[in-house]
Protein backbone atom coordinates (compact mmCIF):
# COMPACT_ATOMS: atom_id res chain seq x y z
CA UNK A 1 0.00 0.00 0.00
CA UNK A 2 2.95 2.35 0.39
CA UNK A 3 3.18 2.61 -3.42
CA UNK A 4 -0.48 3.58 -3.77
CA UNK A 5 -1.03 7.04 -5.22
CA UNK A 6 -4.30 7.40 -3.25
CA UNK A 7 -6.13 8.52 -6.38
CA UNK A 8 -9.34 6.75 -5.24
CA UNK A 9 -10.08 5.73 -8.83
CA UNK A 10 -9.79 2.01 -8.18
CA UNK A 11 -12.28 1.62 -5.36
CA UNK A 12 -15.52 2.67 -3.77
CA UNK A 13 -15.69 4.20 -0.29
CA UNK A 14 -16.61 0.79 1.17
CA UNK A 15 -13.52 -0.78 -0.40
CA UNK A 16 -11.48 2.19 0.81
CA UNK A 17 -12.48 1.44 4.39
CA UNK A 18 -11.34 -2.17 3.97
CA UNK A 19 -8.00 -1.11 2.47
CA UNK A 20 -7.51 1.31 5.36
CA UNK A 21 -7.73 -1.69 7.71
CA UNK A 22 -4.99 -3.50 5.77
CA UNK A 23 -1.87 -1.71 6.90
CA UNK A 24 1.36 -2.70 8.59
CA UNK A 25 0.38 -1.30 11.99
CA UNK A 26 -2.91 -3.22 12.01
CA UNK A 27 -1.20 -6.43 10.86
CA UNK A 28 1.32 -6.33 13.69
CA UNK A 29 -1.39 -5.40 16.20
CA UNK A 30 -3.36 -8.52 15.26
CA UNK A 31 -0.26 -10.74 15.21
CA UNK A 32 0.74 -9.52 18.69
CA UNK A 33 -2.84 -10.01 19.93
CA UNK A 34 -2.76 -13.60 18.64
CA UNK A 35 0.51 -14.30 20.50
CA UNK A 36 -0.92 -13.09 23.82
CA UNK A 37 -4.37 -14.68 23.85
CA UNK A 38 -5.92 -18.12 23.84
CA UNK A 39 -6.05 -19.77 20.40
CA UNK A 40 -9.86 -19.83 20.53
CA UNK A 41 -9.78 -16.01 20.39
CA UNK A 42 -7.25 -15.74 17.54
CA UNK A 43 -8.07 -13.64 14.53
CA UNK A 44 -7.29 -15.45 11.29
CA UNK A 45 -4.61 -13.64 9.28
CA UNK A 46 -4.46 -14.20 5.52
CA UNK A 47 -1.94 -12.61 3.17
CA UNK A 48 -2.12 -12.52 -0.62
CA UNK A 49 1.04 -12.36 -2.70
CA UNK A 50 0.89 -10.95 -6.20
CA UNK A 51 3.23 -12.41 -8.82
CA UNK A 52 4.70 -8.96 -9.58
CA UNK A 53 6.28 -8.67 -6.12
CA UNK A 54 8.21 -11.94 -6.20
CA UNK A 55 10.87 -10.97 -8.80
CA UNK A 56 11.80 -7.99 -6.59
CA UNK A 57 12.51 -10.27 -3.62
CA UNK A 58 14.27 -12.80 -5.85
CA UNK A 59 16.62 -10.15 -7.25
CA UNK A 60 17.19 -8.48 -3.87
CA UNK A 61 18.27 -11.73 -2.22
CA UNK A 62 19.78 -13.43 -5.29
CA UNK A 63 17.21 -16.24 -5.36
CA UNK A 64 15.04 -17.88 -7.98
CA UNK A 65 11.45 -16.66 -8.05
CA UNK A 66 10.24 -20.01 -6.66
CA UNK A 67 12.74 -19.88 -3.80
CA UNK A 68 11.75 -16.29 -3.06
CA UNK A 69 8.08 -17.33 -2.91
CA UNK A 70 8.84 -20.21 -0.55
CA UNK A 71 11.02 -18.11 1.73
CA UNK A 72 8.58 -15.19 1.82
CA UNK A 73 5.74 -17.59 2.62
CA UNK A 74 7.84 -19.20 5.38
CA UNK A 75 8.74 -15.79 6.79
CA UNK A 76 5.11 -14.67 6.89
CA UNK A 77 4.06 -17.93 8.58
CA UNK A 78 6.86 -17.51 11.14
CA UNK A 79 5.32 -14.13 12.02
CA UNK A 80 2.00 -15.83 12.74
CA UNK A 81 0.18 -15.52 9.43
CA UNK A 82 -2.28 -18.41 9.04
CA UNK A 83 -2.71 -18.45 5.25
CA UNK A 84 -0.63 -17.15 2.35
CA UNK A 85 -2.39 -17.10 -1.03
CA UNK A 86 -0.87 -16.60 -4.46
CA UNK A 87 -2.99 -14.28 -6.59
CA UNK A 88 -1.56 -15.46 -9.92
CA UNK A 89 -4.72 -17.38 -10.80
CA UNK A 90 -6.84 -14.28 -10.06
CA UNK A 91 -4.61 -12.22 -12.37
CA UNK A 92 -4.99 -14.90 -15.06
CA UNK A 93 -8.79 -14.79 -14.75
CA UNK A 94 -8.70 -11.01 -14.98
CA UNK A 95 -6.68 -11.17 -18.21
CA UNK A 96 -9.04 -13.78 -19.68
CA UNK A 97 -12.10 -11.66 -18.84
CA UNK A 98 -10.47 -8.55 -20.34
CA UNK A 99 -9.67 -10.53 -23.48
CA UNK A 100 -13.26 -11.77 -23.71
CA UNK A 101 -14.62 -8.23 -23.29
CA UNK A 102 -12.26 -6.86 -25.93
CA UNK A 103 -13.32 -9.50 -28.48
CA UNK A 104 -17.00 -8.70 -27.81
CA UNK A 105 -16.38 -4.96 -28.17
CA UNK A 106 -14.33 -5.46 -31.32
CA UNK A 107 -17.15 -7.49 -32.88
CA UNK A 108 -19.65 -4.70 -32.01
CA UNK A 109 -17.40 -1.84 -33.17
CA UNK A 110 -19.56 -1.10 -36.24
CA UNK A 111 -22.88 -1.31 -34.38
CA UNK A 112 -21.98 0.71 -31.26
CA UNK A 113 -20.35 4.11 -31.32
CA UNK A 114 -18.57 3.64 -27.99
CA UNK A 115 -17.51 -0.01 -28.32
CA UNK A 116 -13.88 1.02 -28.82
CA UNK A 117 -11.47 2.04 -27.47
CA UNK A 118 -11.46 -0.13 -24.39
CA UNK A 119 -9.39 1.00 -21.43
CA UNK A 120 -8.02 -1.39 -18.83
CA UNK A 121 -5.47 -1.05 -16.07
CA UNK A 122 -3.89 -2.71 -13.08
CA UNK A 123 -2.90 -0.69 -10.05
CA UNK A 124 0.90 -0.68 -9.66
CA UNK A 125 0.61 -0.25 -5.88
Rounded to 5 degrees, what are φ and ψ at 47? -120, 140
Quote the Cα angle for 19-25-30, to 5°.
Answer: 90
List, for residues 41-68, the tens digit of each pLDDT value.
888 998 888 877 888 889 999 999 999 9
List, for residues 5-42, the tens digit of each pLDDT value.
555 556 555 656 666 666 788 888 899 999 888 888 88
Quote the Cα angle for 60-66-72, to 5°.
Answer: 60
Neighbours of 90 (CB within 10 A): 13
List, for residues 78-119, the tens digit of each pLDDT value.
999 999 988 888 878 888 998 999 999 999 988 988 888 888
CA dihedral 89, 92, 98, 103 (to 10 degrees): -130
Amino acid sequence: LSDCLACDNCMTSEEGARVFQQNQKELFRVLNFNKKCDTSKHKVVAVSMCPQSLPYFAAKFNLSVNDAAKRLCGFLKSLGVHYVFDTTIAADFSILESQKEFVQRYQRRNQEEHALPMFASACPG
